[in-house]
């Protein structure tokens, strides 16, 4: 888990001098995981929804990394194996249940309710 955390922190940091692709664009964590030989379906599940929330400013990098690492811990704890094709619905359901409160906070940050004073 420490290796996964280190990879994600490298790609999800707020550093303007972060890792860049040859075309000058920033690498995403998804691309970074692929570069570190993480299977594509697993990299997609680990980063699904988190990168967009992070880059739109609704999620900070530390919380995004923590959520992705908890996802990996879930896969290990539930003995989920690759390929994920046959278990994908179950995996998404488990992730949704585990992250319910996290996403409520993210939605609240995205769409704050107006205060009437």
Question: What long-range pairs does 70-76 form, CB within 8 A, spacing at least 24?
Answer: 70/98, 70/99, 71/45, 71/46, 71/95, 71/98, 72/1, 72/4, 72/46, 73/1, 74/98, 75/42, 75/45
pLDDT of the residue at 17: 55
Whether 88 has a pLDDT exceeding 80, the answer reads: no
Give domain status of residue 115, yes or no: no
| Residues 21-61: tens digit of each pLDDT | 556 566 677 888 888 888 888 888 888 888 888 777 777 88
Give domain status of residue 68, yes or no: yes
pLDDT of the residue at 21: 54
Hey, how many other C-beta atoms are within 10 angstroms of the C-beta on 38? 18
Minimum mean pLDDT range among 2-16, 41-55, 56-70, 82-96: 2-16
0.85 exceeded by pTM: no
Give domain status of residue 116, yes or no: no
**Residue 20's domain spans which residues?**
2-110
Number of domains in the chain: 1
Would you state the structure tokens that stand for residue 13, as one six-digit string?
A: 């940091």
């Amino acid at each position: 888990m420490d290796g996964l955390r280190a990879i994600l922190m490298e790609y999800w940091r707020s550093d303007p001098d972060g890792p860049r692709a040859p075309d000058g664009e920033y690498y995403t964590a998804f691309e970074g995981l692929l570069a570190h030989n993480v299977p594509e379906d697993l990299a997609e599940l680990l980063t699904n929804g988190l990168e967009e929330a992070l880059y739109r400013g609704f999620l900070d990098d530390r919380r995004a990394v923590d959520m992705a690492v908890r996802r990996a811990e879930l896969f290990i704890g539930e003995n989920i194996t690759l390929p994920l094709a046959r278990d994908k619905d179950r995996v998404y359901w488990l992730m949704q249940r585990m992250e319910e409160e996290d996403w409520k906070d993210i939605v609240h940050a995205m769409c704050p309710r107006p205060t009437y004073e």
